Amino acid sequence: MRVNGDLHEIGLEPRVSLLDALRDHLGLTGSKKGCDQGTCGACTVWVQGRPVLACLTLAVACEDREITTIEGIAPADGLHPVQRAFIEHDAFQCGYCTSGQIMSAVALLRDGGAETDDEIAEYMSGNICRCAAYPNIRAAIREVRDADLETSGRA
């Protein structure tokens, strides 16, 4: 599988989840194992650019697919704008859900579905924050959305 642009060949049993392959076999521990049942979103990564729950995805199903984790979204010289906005808006509290939240937020912004707070809340509803930082998370997403609109001249 190709993870964050690098090709990895690993021998796994067919029952190994993508999350366990990333964490235990590749040492990419940014994606968290929260519920291990697909209900919290802490394990969100992208497969072929689409958000998936890595705890429910078999690693063998990702053969020859591009996987992107939280470790792969930032440019080499710094943080992704969503990562910076999460810091600025204190949108991470304990931090356990943060990588999944950020992966979903980046996909939301990329797909253009963050026009209203209701749209943001709906899209992000698969990512649970037990610290209840939802207002801060939405504020971070709005900041990046608004900066993108200004940059593109659509504001």
Residues sharing a CB contact under 8 Å with residue 95, sequence separation 6 or more, in sequence order? none
Residue 16: pLDDT band by 50, 70, 90 thresholds? very high
Residue range(s) defining the domain that contains residue 130: 81-152
Q: Do 63 and 6 have their domain in common?
A: yes
pLDDT score at 121: 95
Select from 34, 16, 15, 33 the least CA-distant residue to 25. 16
Residues 57-81 pLDDT 10s: 999 999 999 999 999 999 988 999 9
Task: Outline where DSSP puts E strands in 5-146.
Answer: 6-7, 44-47, 50-53, 66-68
Residue 155: pLDDT band by 50, 70, 90 thresholds? low
The pTM of this model reads: 0.94
pLDDT score at 154: 63
Q: State how far the alpha carbon of 32 is from the alpha carbons of 1, 63, 79, 94, in Å.
A: 20, 21, 19, 13
* HSE-CB of 148 using CA atoms within 13 angstroms: 19
Residue 92: pLDDT band by 50, 70, 90 thresholds? confident
Q: What's the CA gap between 58 and 119, in Å, rounded?
A: 29
Q: What's the CA gap between 109 and 131, in Å, rounded?
A: 23
For residue 25, pLDDT over 80 is answered with: yes
Instruction: Using the 3D structure, point to which of 15, 47, 72 is the last residue of a domain.
Output: 72
For residue 120, pLDDT over 70 is answered with: yes
Q: Do 37 and 6 have their domain in common?
A: yes
| Domains of the chain: total | 2
Q: Do 101 and 68 have their domain in common?
A: no
Q: Do 111 and 138 have their domain in common?
A: yes
**Domain containing residue 98: CATH number:** 1.10.150.120
